[in-house]
Amino acid sequence: MSVKCGGTSQAKPADENVQKICDSVKQHAEQKAGKTFEVFTAKTFKTQVVAGTNYFVKVHVGGDDHVHLRVYKKLPCDGGDLELTSIQHSKSEHDPLEYF
């Protein structure tokens, strides 16, 4: 599987690592959304390699509701920190995960 430089990968099922990323930005996502999420389960994700990695993650937040997160992970030489850079609300299980 090759990824064009700057392009996003194909969507893949979320794994333990992606769930940990989501868990680490959950509080910030709740602040941006202005509400508390009872459920916060990563479902699928795409990556984009930049000077670090952007993770685009579809997250189940209860009922039929989902949000899409864009999380930036800095390079290890820059500290490897995670930053929630954007969130999309009112998504469904079937909404495609796209660049935003």
49-90, pLDDT tens digit by residue? Answer: 888 999 999 999 999 999 999 999 999 888 889 999 999 999
Determine contact, residues 45/38, Cβ cutoff 8 Å. Answer: no
**Record: fold of 12-91:** Nuclear Transport Factor 2; Chain: A, (3.10.450)
As a whole number, mean pLDDT of residues 2-31 equals 86
Residue whose tokens read 């685009």: 56
Q: What is the distance between the alpha carbons of residues 8 and 54, in angstroms, rounded to a whole number?
A: 9
- Is the whole-model pTM more than 0.75? yes
Question: pLDDT value at position 3?
Answer: 41
Domain ranges of the chain: 12-91
